[in-house]
């Protein structure tokens, strides 16, 4: 996960690999890793993220970074003197351990003032502490529209569509919007055997009711593709015989319609206020991420699709239900994204995997797409 000792080591490791293929490599103060093709004014930018989720698998997002490394390696080996090069990037904290898409937002100049100071992990560690611990140095890397002709990201699909249709490459046309919030309740700890039910100020009780309401309300008021998740629920002090004095949950929901996301978010706040009134428990909700829906660039998608066809695969055009750095990069330059199949559609778990032949095939398509892009 972002800023863990393993993350820091992986980013140093990546700098060495990028240097080996002839790129000028370094990290910035957030831990973004950038390999720059020397001696050129223009370059395609290829990459993804090397941080992951707790107990995450080995492919989400390292795959896209290694494809970038491999594209740079073979294209340099083939024509080191070319006028348009290949830069490779690994963004920091795409998964939002502290701040979703921290690295790509910084890269595109989209961090709001106060965002770094406010960001915390679910265990409450401030991002500023994690930055200090990790010790990355250097000015933030910035997107360079004068240099970067396009950003290309490869990723596992993390869902079942490619594997179940027997298609080896997906071309992403759009991304869903994402809302994330933390809901905290404060009550009073008491003896759970001796305190009458009517006298308790149980902080967890309204949040359990809230969780049940979320499933019902989102199913009724959401669209056919709306998804939602309560991914963390913590109760304090967390003992069988103590009435909870505190409770906290994270709610995330996604859809491609920003107006629907607004309506769902407003309904959440309204319902929480009602629960607080009914239970006399203080409840606070804090939005921790609002990522708008986004689209990729048609001309870049076409280049990926042609590369897939050249390799004998008719690609599936698809919407991404997952968030990716690519949706942030779209604010700064043309973007394209390709998916390869996930076995069983599984991801965000250590069981995530892809057939090695599909990994190699996808890399071939990516390298051919980059070669095509450099010719345009
Ligand atoms: C990233 O994996 C996300 O969609 O949250
Ligand atoms: Mn992920
Ligand atoms: Mn990812």
> Probe ligand 1: pick from 95, 252, 290, max atoms within 8 Å of CB?
95
Give the mean pLDDT of the chain.
Answer: 97
Q: Which whole-number Å values give the CA distances from 336 to 48, 147, 167, 254, 333, in the listed order?
A: 12, 17, 18, 21, 10
pLDDT value at residue 67 = 98
What tokens does 258 get? 């920003």
pLDDT digit string, tens, across residues 122-149 = 889 999 999 999 999 999 999 999 999 9
Give me the pLDDT at residue 122, please: 85
- Residue 323 near residue 178, CB atoms below 8 Å: yes
CA end-to-end span of the chain? 37
Q: What size, in residues, is the chain?
A: 376
Query: Is residue 157 lining ligand 1, measured as CB closer than 6 Å?
Result: no
Residue 204 backbone zone (phi > 0: left; psi -120 to 50: alpha; other: beta): alpha
pLDDT tens sequence across 40-62: 999 999 999 999 999 999 999 99
Percent over 90 (pLDDT), the chain: 97
Note the pLDDT of residue 247: 98
- Residues with Cβ within 8 Å of 197's Cβ and at least 6 positions away in sequence, in order, are none
pTM of the model: 0.89
Residue 172 has pLDDT above 90, yes or no: yes
> How far is Cα 113 from Cα 79, in angstroms, rounded to an integer?
43
pLDDT tens, position by position, 343-367: 999 999 999 999 999 999 999 999 9
The alpha carbon of 52 and the centre of ligand 3 are apart by a number of angstroms equal to 7
Q: Which of 363, 338, 335, 360 is nearest to 45 (CA)?
A: 335
- Ligand 1 neighbourhood includes 95 CB (under 6 angstroms): yes
Q: Could you identify the residue written with the tokens 């939005």?
A: 287
The best mutation among 64, 324, 342, 349 to test binding of ligand 1, ranked by most ligand atoms within 8 Å of the C-beta, falls on: 324
Q: Is the CB of 323 under 6 A from ligand 1?
A: yes
pLDDT single digits (tens) 255-284:
999 999 999 999 999 999 999 999 999 999
Q: How confident is the model at residue 80 (pLDDT cuts 50, 70, 90)?
A: confident
Q: How many CB atoms lie within 10 A of CB 8?
A: 17
Sequence-distant (≥ 6) Cβ neighbours of residue 54 within 8 angstroms: 1
């Amino acid at each position: 996960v972002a800023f863990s000792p393993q993350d820091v080591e992986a980013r140093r490791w990546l700098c060495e690999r990028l240097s080996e293929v002839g790129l000028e490599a370094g990290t910035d103060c957030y831990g973004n890793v950038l390999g720059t093709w020397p001696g050129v004014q223009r370059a395609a930018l290829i990459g993804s993220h090397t941080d992951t989720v707790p107990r995450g698998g080995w492919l989400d997002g390292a795959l896209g970074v290694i494809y970038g490394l491999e594209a740079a390696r073979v294209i340099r080996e083939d024509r080191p003197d070319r006028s348009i090069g290949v830069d490779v990037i690994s963004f920091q904290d795409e998964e939002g351990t502290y701040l979703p898409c921290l690295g790509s937002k910084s890269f595109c100049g989209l961090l709001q003032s106060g965002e770094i100071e406010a960001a915390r992990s679910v265990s409450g560690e401030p991002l500023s502490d994690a930055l200090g611990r990790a010790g990355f140095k250097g000015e933030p890397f910035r997107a360079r529209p004068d240099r970067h002709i396009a950003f290309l990201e490869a990723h596992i699909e993390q869902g079942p569509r490619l594997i179940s249709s027997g298609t080896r490459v997906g071309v992403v046309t759009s991304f869903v919007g994402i809302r994330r919030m933390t809901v905290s309740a404060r009550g009073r700890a008491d003896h759970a055997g001796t305190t009458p039910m009517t006298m308790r100020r149980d902080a967890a009780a309204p949040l359990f009711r809230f969780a049940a309401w979320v499933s019902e309300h989102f199913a009724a008021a959401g669209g056919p593709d709306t998804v939602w998740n309560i991914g963390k629920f913590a109760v304090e002090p967390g003992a069988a015989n103590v009435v909870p004095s505190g409770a906290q949950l994270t709610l995330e929901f996604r859809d491609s319609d920003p107006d629907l996301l607004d309506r769902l978010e407003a309904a959440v706040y309204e319902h929480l206020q009602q629960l607080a009134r009914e239970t006399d428990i203080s409840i606070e909700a804090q939005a921790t991420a609002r990522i708008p829906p986004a689209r990729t660039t048609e001309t870049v998608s076409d280049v990926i699709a042609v590369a897939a066809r050249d390799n004998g695969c008719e690609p599936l055009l698809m919407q991404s239900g997952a968030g990716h750095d690519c949706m942030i990069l779209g604010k700064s330059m043309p973007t394209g994204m390709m998916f390869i199949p996930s076995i069983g559609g599984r991801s965000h778990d250590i069981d995530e995997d892809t057939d090695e032949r599909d990994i190699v095939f996808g890399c071939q398509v990516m390298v051919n797409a980059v070669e095509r892009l450099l010719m345009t």
